[in-house]
Amino acid sequence: QVTLKESGPVLVKPTETLTLTCTVSGFSLSNARMGVSWIRQPPGKALEWLAHIFSNDEKSYSTSLKSRLTISKDTSKSQVVLTMTNMDPVDTATYYCARIVRASGYVSDYWGQGTLVTVSS
Amino acid sequence: QSALTQPASVSGSPGQSITISCTGTSSDVGSYNLVSWYQQHPGKAPKLMIYEGSKRPSGVSNRFSGSKSGNTASLTISGLQAEDEADYYCCSYAGSSTPYVVFGGGTKLTVL
């Protein structure tokens, strides 16, 4: 059974750095066919892809947020970590991690429950 | 890369069929048969309903079907049921360089 679970702070202050952890089970981060994406959704708005990482440490970032994002993984812990620097109230959103399948066009076939992050002083 | 274009809302009565469109460009939807569709109920995570344009994951009702013509992909739901009321998002592969995938703006389906 594939599961993903996001964890991290629910509240961050403007200018702070956000660190989110995605803990996965039911598949291995060493599986070459699969990776993990981070996707966010501001309240009442659409989904926005942020970044992804694969077993060979291949990474990619949203063009608009690239300077603020870092994605990494710890295969032994089955965890993927996303950091976002210089947080702003517009970054308030539910942040999801999802398993992606490369051969199917990077489709997100399993999602975590999401974690709501509010940026406020 | 711009977001894919979806209608903001669609509606239908129980038992009817509806279609949600998803318009992209020749760089994404038009170039690959790799569109996926997600259903999202309020307060819940998105759920994969269609992938690779027309394939259904195990457990997804065959009332959901996907297709594509040119730069536009479509999701059709037949035999509408109350539980189908949700937001629906399309997503397309956009090539082997960032952003790799692009999402649509979402469509609110109301079952009357």
The answer to whether residue B99 scores a pLDDT higher than 80 is no
Give me the count of residues in chain B: 112
Distance (Å) of CA A88 to CA A69, B22, B88: 13, 31, 28
Which residues from A are below 8 Å from B93, CB to CB?
105-106
Chain A: give the shortest CA distance to residue B42, in Å.
Answer: 10
Pick out chain A residues at pLDDT < 70. none
Whether B110 and B8 have beta carbons less than 8 Å apart is answered as no
Q: What is the β-pairing status of strands A79-84 and A18-25? A: antiparallel
State yes or no: pLDDT of B25 exceeds 80: yes
Mutate to test the interface with A, among B31, B41, B55, B98 (most CBs of A within 10 A): B98
Query: Does the pLDDT value for residue B1 go beyond 70?
Result: no
pLDDT range class, residue B40, cuts 50, 70, 90: very high
The tokens describing A115, both together, are 């974690």
Mean pLDDT, all residues of chain B: 94
Band of residue B75 on the pLDDT scale cut at 50, 70, 90: very high
Q: Which residue of B32, B89, B98 is in closest CB contact with A105?
A: B32
The answer to whether A116 and A8 are in contact (CB under 8 A) is no
A7-16, B45-54, B94-103: which has the minimum mean pLDDT? B94-103
